[in-house]
Amino acid sequence: MTTRRRALVWAAVTAGLLATFALYQRPAFLVNLADQLWSCF
């Protein structure tokens, strides 16, 4: 894997983690996620 491609992969992973962290800062998202999880049972 080239250095440029590795940097792009790390940038994509970092962006994904930051997006996930941002969603968890919203209480409405957490309630919605919990409701969807419980609706499976």
The boundaries of the domain holding residue 26 are: 3-39
pLDDT of residue 13: 97
Rg of the Cα trace of the chain?
16
Looking at the structure of the chain, the number of domains it has is 1
CA dihedral in degrees (33, 36, 37, 39; nearest 10)?
160
Give the closest residue to 20 by CA, choosing from 11, 28, 29. 29
Fill in the amino acid letter for 5: R
Q: In terms of Cα–Cα distance, which of 38, 33, 36 is closest to 20?
A: 33
What average pLDDT does range 8-36 have in this prediction?
A: 92
Average pLDDT over the chain reads 91
Q: Given a cut of 80, is residue 33 above it in pLDDT?
A: yes
